[in-house]
Amino acid sequence: MSDTDFLRVCALDDLPESEAIAADIHGTSIVLVRKDEEVFALYDECSHAAVALSEGDVDGCTLECWLHGSMFDLRTGKPTGPPATTSVATYPVELRDGDVYLSLKPKTTEEA
């Protein structure tokens, strides 16, 4: 993946710690989560209930869907328990000079 595949999203300091933040990046709904100096990006739709994950709560390295409690690993997008059984897409994020950059090319299973 080249540098040209990444889009500047925001300054790292604009993202609050351990909160799910909704972002629309070129028509793609993304949820961003900052954990310390790391930022995770997932598709902002629960694979079980088709509701916004950005309305949920961050618990450690998981994001909980507010509707039925499905939890998704921030690193891989994989559900950590029922009712969801399907992963949500995760996206590569890079931090450059205090800014957050995102690629809209979802990570492959090997990268997640």
pLDDT in tens, the chain (112 residues): 566 799 999 999 999 999 999 999 999 999 999 998 899 999 999 999 999 999 999 999 999 999 999 999 999 999 998 899 999 999 999 999 999 999 999 997 656 5
> Which residues neighbour 108 within 8 Å (Cβ) at sequence distance 6 or greater?
none
**Nearest in space to 58 (alpha carbons), one of 24, 20, 3, 28:** 20
**Nearest in space to 56 (alpha carbons), one of 28, 92, 84:** 84
Tell me the one-letter amino acid at 88.
V
DSSP classification of residue 2: -
Annotated domain spans of the chain: 3-102
- In Å, what is the CA distance from 44 to each residue of 3, 5, 67, 87, 103? 24, 20, 14, 12, 15
**Domain 3-102 has what CATH class?**
mainly beta
Query: What is the model's pLDDT at position 112?
Result: 55
